[in-house]
Structure 1
C-alpha cells in the first residue's frame, strides 16, 4: 500500500516561483482602476468574477491573437498557465462566454448615464502618460492617418444603410495608388513619430473622409499630452490637404501641418505663385528658396537668374536694380496652406514628411500581431473597443519591454 506524499506547495504557489513570463510583464503595467469602479458586479454573473482579470484576459486575447471570445474561454479552460497569468484562480470556475459578452457590451456602451464610454479610453490615456513619463513618446512630431477595417457583418447596399454607428462602404487608394473599396470601418490614429506608438484613436464608418477626423484627433493628442510638451508638427498625406486643417493647427495649436499639396486643389494657388506656393518671377521661373525666419513667420526667395538656376535674357536688372537680385518674402499667416515653415521642397520639410510612415508601421503591428483586423463583433461601439484593446496591448508591450531593458542595464 502506497501513501501519496502531500504537496509542500500548491500549483499556484509553484507558478509564482517561475520566472515572470512575457505576458505577465505586459499585463502587469495595466492600470485597471478606471474600470473597477464602473462595471458592476451584476454584469459579471452570480459568482462575481474579477473585472480586472477579465479585462486582462481581453488584452491577452489581442496579444495571443485569439480570434473569438469563445476561443478565449476555451484557452482559459484548457491552459492553466494562461489562466494563472491572467489572474484567475485555478480552483474556481472561469467566466463563461456570456459573462465576457456582457462585460464587452458594458465597456463598449456609449450611454452617458453609466459613464462607461471613457473607461477603456482612460486606461489607454494612462498608458500614453506612462510612456511619455518614461521618455518613450517624444511628441515633437505626430503622424496622422487612417486604415480600413473590414466589417464582420454582412455587407448591404448603400440605400439600405442608415445611421452613423454602423458599417458603411468606403474607398481609398493603397500605397501603390490602386483604388480599393471595402465594407466596414476606418481606424483613425495619431502616432508619435519617434516611438511609433499611438497617442489618440478614433473609429468611424468607412465612408467618413479622413480630413474630417484630423482636427478631432489633434484635439485628443493635445488633451492626452496636456501636461507635457505639445507637438510642433503634424504630418499627414495629401488626403488631408484642407485649408481648415492648416489654419486650425497654426492658430489653435501653435504647430505646423506638414501635408503635400493635392493636385486636385492645385488650381487654387494664389496669383504669382506656383502650385506649391513658390513665388514665380516676371519671366515665369520658380524663384529659389533662401531660408526661413521662424520668429517672423516668413520664407525668403531670391531671383533664379542670380542664383544660377536659369539664364534670363534680361538679367536680374529686369526685376531689381540690385546685384543681389529680386527678393520675395511670403508670410505663413497670410496663407497657411501655401506657406509653411519649413518650406516645401526643402530637406527639412521632406525629412518631417518622411516620418509619416511611422503611422503605417503602427497599423502594420496592430493588424499583423495584435488582431486589429480580425473583427468578430458588430457595431461601431464594439469595433472601437476592439481597436482600443489592440492599441492598449501595443502600448503595454512597449512599456514592459522598456522596463525590462532598464532593469537589465541597472543590473
Structure 2
C-alpha cells in the first residue's frame, strides 16, 4: 500500500515550509521477481521446521535487499530465539540464491551447521573440454557426453581431489530408463566397455559445485527434497492468514503483522493437534471441514 520514496511533513505548518520531512514508509523497496514483474514491497525471510511445517523465526528487510544478504541476520535471530533447537541442527536448507562461500561460512559460524543449497550458475557458461567422449561441462558443473547425456556422479576421490562420474546408459548403478547411446559414440567414448565411460574431473574445474556436499549426488537430493515445506508455508500464510498484503506502513508495523500471522498458524496447529492427534499447520484441513 506504500509509495516508493514518498515523504510527509513532520510539522503542523500550513503550506510549503522548510521543516524536515520523513518517508511515509522507510522499509519498502523495489523487489524484482523477473525482468517484467516488480513490486513495491517488504522482503520477508523465514525459518521453519521441515517436520513441524510451522514458521519459527522471521526477519523483515527492505524490498530491494539482495536475497543472499538476508541469511546471516535471519540465522542470528533464530539462534537467539531458539538456542536449544539451534544446537541440534546439522543442516540448513535454502534456495540456490544463498549458495555462496560467504553464506556457507556464515552458517557454520552461527549455527555450526551445513548449508544445503542447489547450484546457482549465475553468469557461468558451458565449457568445452578435450576429454575423450565428453562434449562439455555445462554451467551447473555436470559433464555432458558426446551423446548429449548428463554423466551420473557416483562419488569423489578426496585424496586426488576429483569427482567420479559414470555413464547413465550402461553403468548398472546409474542406468536411466529411456536413454540410449549410438554404437559409434559408445565405441569412441569408452571403447565399448560394458559399464560405459568413467570420467574423473578435478574439483577446481567446477567451483560452483559444493565439494563437501556435491549437488549432483544422491545425498544432496534426499536432504534438499525437504525444503519445499517452506514454499507451502508461505503459500498458506499468504492465502489463509492474510500475509500477502500489508495495510500498515513502516518496518515495525510489518513485523507486527507477520508475527500475528505466524501466531495464528501456531494456534490453528495446536487446535488441530488436540482435535485430531496430529500436528499440522491446520488451516487447509479446517477450512475444508467448515466447507463440508
For the superposition of Structure 1 and Structure 2, which TM-score range results when normalised by the shorter chain?
0.5 to 0.7
2:117 to 225, 235, 258: 258
Q: How does 1:213-228 map to 2 (within 5 A)?
A: 213-228=70-85
Rg bigger for which structure? 1
2:55 to 190, 198, 204: 198
Partners of 1:199 and 1:330 lie apart in 2 by: 40
Unaligned runs of 5+ in 2: 8-20, 130-135, 279-292
Contact 1:298 1:330 in 2 (8 A): yes
Partners of 1:163 and 1:273 lie apart in 2 by: 50
Contact 1:270 1:277 in 2 (8 A): no
Shift of 1:330: 5.7
Check if 1:366 corresponds to 2:215: no
Cα-Cα RMSD: 4.5
Q: How does 1:66-77 map to 2 (within 5 A)?
A: none
Aligned to 2:37: 180
Question: Larger helix proportion, structure 1 or 2?
Answer: 1
Shift of 1:211: 1.2
- Could you give the per-residue CA deviations for residues 123-170 of structure 1, whole angstroms, max 9, x where no partner exists? xxxxxxxxxxxxxxxxxxxxxxxxxxxxx3344479x99699432222
Secondary structure at 1:185 match in 2 = strand
Question: Could you tell which deviates more after superposition, 339-348 or 363-372?
Answer: 339-348
Shift of 1:213: 0.2
Question: Larger strand proportion, structure 1 or 2?
Answer: 2
Aligned to 1:339: 210
Cα distance change on mapping 1:367 and 1:302 into 2, 3 Å: closer
Check if 1:239 corresponds to 2:111: no
TM-score, normalised by the number of residues in structure 1: 0.47
Contact 2:94 2:117 in 1 (8 A): yes
Q: How does 1:106-121 map to 2 (within 5 A)?
A: none
Shift of 1:223: 4.2
Partners of 2:161 and 2:70 lie apart in 1 by: 27
Shift of 1:386: 1.3
2:251 to 359, 365, 380: 380
Shift of 1:314: 4.3
Shift of 1:324: 8.9
Q: How does 1:185-334 map to 2 (within 5 A)?
A: 185-228=42-85, 229-236=88-95, 238-249=96-107, 253-262=112-121, 264-267=122-125, 273-279=137-143, 287-291=151-155, 299-302=163-166, 307=171, 311-316=185-190, 326=198, 328=200
Aligned to 1:153: 2
Partners of 1:222 and 1:210 lie apart in 2 by: 19
Check if 1:170 corresponds to 2:31: yes
Shift of 1:230: 0.5
Shift of 1:206: 1.0
Number of positions where the alignment pairs a residue of Structure 1 with one of Structure 2: 244
Unaligned runs of 5+ in 1: 1-151, 318-322
